[in-house]
Chain A
């Protein structure tokens, strides 16, 4: 499933991001690595995503959220 399909408040497991290795390692350094659990805090049609990963919250742009595969 894509991250964009997840409703507010749901917890999911981050699987991968369909992007170049630069972005993949970048996300990993910020705590988003394959297998980590995250909670969708804000998914609304107007504006970017907010997710909670281990207590820190990350803003993810719409374009980015479309590339993230979760379970």
Chain B
């Protein structure tokens, strides 16, 4: 039998526990995509329950259906135009008043069946709030279910009710919605009648709702009406303007403000009937935690400590699994080396794919730990505190604290970070934040620092990496300041943001997050990094027959002959050491041969062509190629170095480190390269995100050009400065 399907959308305020509920309903059966046309994440999951295929959609968290931000537009459009069978409005029981604001707007839409989930009722009860669900259900004529999302309670009943509601053919009740004051109701009625007359049966929305929105001067609805209704659309808008003018005269205020007040009047009336608050005030744990964490003296040092701890964990905790993966790869390539006969394919597998992909994949633990920490910041609610604490510093740039959230996320990956700028209301603030976020070093760049700092500054690697991150942050601040006073002049946009209560992060949601990240990382390894490694290996392995500057073969023969005489004349005791010396001499020649071979390959030619650009900052042709390839994805920088420095059949850990030390790279060159890496050209994925998010090719090109120029300039200063101070 064919199973029946229903589409259920979850709506609700931010921090109402919506995502937790969604995670609990769908588990890992989630699909993350984008909403059409915009980059706001769209999450959906399909589950089978009570004999139905249920498609659950997690709408972005919104405070209202008045479109202030892209999230709100997305949520509203989905409900209006995709018409889900049921909309579940998740109501935060501990703040009923505000939740009902969105709820009444959803009811006003009159286009779909709404169900209320009174979430986090336990939290409300602990604050002494009792809610009479039956009464609420009766007053608004909407089914109400109690849920406790983080304890997985009430979800079965919720879904059952949703199916019941979806299958019932009850029309949406017309009563029990907000009644506005007489003048406004009069205008609504007049406009509604006018629309009814003119709509030619092709009207998109419920006419009462459309009339209300037109009185509120809703730009998007106005546009949609013009698009769909054509000529009579103009008449409708004119009529709406007349009514608006009348109401503005009447109230001496904008109709939307009067209507907002009246909606709250209606809500306050409901709340009086359904909610009882006991005077017994329990201790609010979040408030107590905030006494310390947002304390004007303690807050900031604690915040710095958390960030320090995050990186400390990333490096120290990540080191162990890194070793396991490393020895796994070594074992793999050693056995591959033994199994396969010498051939071009073997070279491709060992020097191309294993050296390329393998050199990056060992950093999976570090990257996961970093994302894990950022997820903890987000899930506990600490992110909002960080925004609060950083507000003052962000004001130096002319931004406010909210812009810091994308920047902090940028330590993980710039793509979601740039998408997170969606929450900023001011367009200029958004562009400014997008321009400076790439200077926050993302996790894909981490392997480069670990390799370079670990090789050239072994004991002080931690300090050096910290300094590199600091240079990135400093550049972000100074650039922001520069842009604010030149290209993006403007006053500070108003800063308002909710400080959500602290929550113990749910292991499940953290694990889902980790799983998503690992999947993405491994996909990248199997996709772009694999292809990139193959291309780079191919370019470095061809042409096959080149003429060497010296005859390496005869050199090796000469060495062998020299040592042979020494070997025969020497006594038994020195034989071992002589043998070792001989092998070292031979491998030195082999390495020189290999180096020349790569230097004369296509890759070498490309690198040499760019070398003049990079030599003032101390980077040779190999580094140039690695940096160029980094445009595709930053992980490839290490892959490329892995391939270019791979030494013939040398299977041991730290191969790349040894090769780097043996090459003529100096520590000041390494420092310069790290600085260049943190600041230069963002990766392809980030660039295309910038393009989509700014909607402007001009800003995208500006971001690419500016970052690369700055990177070169700072690297130049550092390299030449180090050399002048006599650092190698």
Distance in Å from the Cβ of B349 to the closest Cβ of chain A?
Answer: 55
Decide: A21 near B401, CB < 8 A? Known: A30-B496, A47-B388, A61-B391: no
Q: Is residue A1 within 8 Å, beta carbon to beta carbon, of the partner chain?
A: no
Decide: A61 near B496, CB < 8 A? Known: A29-B101, A56-B98: yes
Q: Is residue B444 within 8 Å, beta carbon to beta carbon, of the partner chain?
A: no
In the bound complex, CA of A57 to CA of B97 (Å): 14
Instruction: Pick out which of these stretches binds chain A: B61-69, B80-88, B330-338, B572-580.
Output: B61-69
Q: Which of A52-68 contact B (CB under 8 A)?
A: 52-64, 67
Distance in Å from the Cβ of A25 to the closest Cβ of chain B?
Answer: 5
Q: Is residue B280 within 8 Å, beta carbon to beta carbon, of the partner chain?
A: no
Interface size class of B (residues with CB under 8 A): 35 or more
Distance in Å from the Cβ of B302 to the closest Cβ of chain A?
Answer: 14
In the bound complex, CA of A21 to CA of B257 (Å): 7
Chain A residues with CB under 8 A of B499 = 50, 56-59
Distance in Å from the Cβ of B124 to the closest Cβ of chain A?
Answer: 8
A27, A55, A57, A67 pick with most chain B CB within 10 angstroms: A55
CB distance A61 to B492 under 8 Å? Answer: yes
Chain A residues with CB under 8 A of B495 = 48, 59-64
CB distance B261 to A56 under 8 Å? Answer: no
CB distance A33 to B296 under 8 Å? Answer: no
Q: Which of B298-356 contact A (CB under 8 A)?
A: none
Q: Which residue of B lies closest to A22 (CB)?
A: B68
CB distance A42 to B496 under 8 Å? Answer: no
Q: Which of B94, B261, B286, B500 has a CB less than 8 Å from the CB of A33?
A: B261
Q: Mark A18-35, 1 if CB is under 8 A from B, else 0.
A: 010111111111110111
CB distance A50 to B97 under 8 Å? Answer: no
Q: Is residue B269 within 8 Å, beta carbon to beta carbon, of the partner chain?
A: no
Chain A residues with CB under 8 A of B92 = 56
CB distance B392 to A33 under 8 Å? Answer: no
Distance in Å from the Cβ of A44 to the closest Cβ of chain B?
Answer: 5
Q: Mark B90-104, 1 if CB is under 8 A from A, else 0.
A: 001011111001100
Chain A residues with CB under 8 A of B117 = none
CB distance B496 to A27 under 8 Å? Answer: yes
CB distance A30 to B63 under 8 Å? Answer: yes
Distance in Å from the Cβ of B166 to the closest Cβ of chain A?
Answer: 28
Q: Is residue A46 within 8 Å, beta carbon to beta carbon, of the partner chain?
A: yes
CB distance A47 to B389 under 8 Å? Answer: yes
Chain B residues with CB under 8 A of A6 = none
A28, A36, A64 pick with most chain B CB within 10 angstroms: A28
Q: Which residue of B lies closest to A16 (CB)?
A: B257
Chain A residues with CB under 8 A of B68 = 22, 26, 29
Q: Is residue B127 within 8 Å, beta carbon to beta carbon, of the partner chain?
A: yes
CB distance A28 to B260 under 8 Å? Answer: yes
Q: Which of B493-524 contact A (CB under 8 A)?
A: 494-501
A27, A56, A58, A67 pick with most chain B CB within 10 angstroms: A56
Chain A residues with CB under 8 A of B401 = 48, 59, 61
Chain B residues with CB under 8 A of A55 = 94-95, 127, 129
Q: Which residue of A lies closest to B129 (CB)?
A: A55
Chain A residues with CB under 8 A of B287 = 41, 52, 57
CB distance B95 to A56 under 8 Å? Answer: yes
Q: Is residue B384 within 8 Å, beta carbon to beta carbon, of the partner chain?
A: yes
In the bound complex, CA of A47 to CA of B401 (Å): 9
Q: Is residue B387 within 8 Å, beta carbon to beta carbon, of the partner chain?
A: yes
CB distance A44 to B264 under 8 Å? Answer: no
Q: Which residue of A lies closest to B98 (CB)?
A: A31
CB distance B496 to A26 under 8 Å? Answer: yes
In the bound complex, CA of A53 to CA of B296 (Å): 21
Q: Mark B11-23, 1 if CB is under 8 A from A, else 0.
A: 0000100000000
Q: Is residue B254 within 8 Å, beta carbon to beta carbon, of the partner chain?
A: yes
CB distance B494 to A64 under 8 Å? Answer: yes
CB distance A31 to B95 under 8 Å? Answer: yes
Chain A residues with CB under 8 A of B392 = 46-47
Q: Mark B574-606, 1 if CB is under 8 A from A, else 0.
A: 000000000000000000000000000000000
Distance in Å from the Cβ of B259 to the closest Cβ of chain A?
Answer: 9
CB distance A59 to B497 under 8 Å? Answer: yes
Q: Mark B357-386, 1 if CB is under 8 A from A, else 0.
A: 000000000000000000000000000100
Chain B residues with CB under 8 A of A31 = 95, 97-98, 101
CB distance A58 to B498 under 8 Å? Answer: yes
Q: Which of B102, B296, B496 has a CB less than 8 Å from the CB of A59?
A: B496
In the bound complex, CA of A22 to CA of B499 (Å): 21
Q: Is residue B400 within 8 Å, beta carbon to beta carbon, of the partner chain?
A: yes
CB distance A63 to B254 under 8 Å? Answer: no
Q: Which of B98, B260, B264, B496 has a CB less than 8 Å from the CB of A60?
A: B496
Distance in Å from the Cβ of A13 to the closest Cβ of chain B?
Answer: 13
Q: Is residue B294 within 8 Å, beta carbon to beta carbon, of the partner chain?
A: yes
CB distance B66 to A63 under 8 Å? Answer: no
Q: Which of B30-67 contact A (CB under 8 A)?
A: 63-64, 66
Q: List 19 A-B contacts (CB under 8 A).
A: A25-B64, A25-B256, A26-B68, A26-B496, A29-B66, A31-B95, A31-B98, A33-B264, A47-B296, A47-B388, A50-B294, A56-B499, A59-B498, A61-B391, A61-B401, A61-B496, A62-B495, A63-B492, A67-B494
A residues neighboring B (CB under 8 Å): 19, 21-31, 33-36, 41-42, 44, 46-48, 50, 52-64, 67
The 5 closest A-B pairs by CB, nearest first: A61-B495, A29-B64, A31-B98, A29-B63, A57-B499
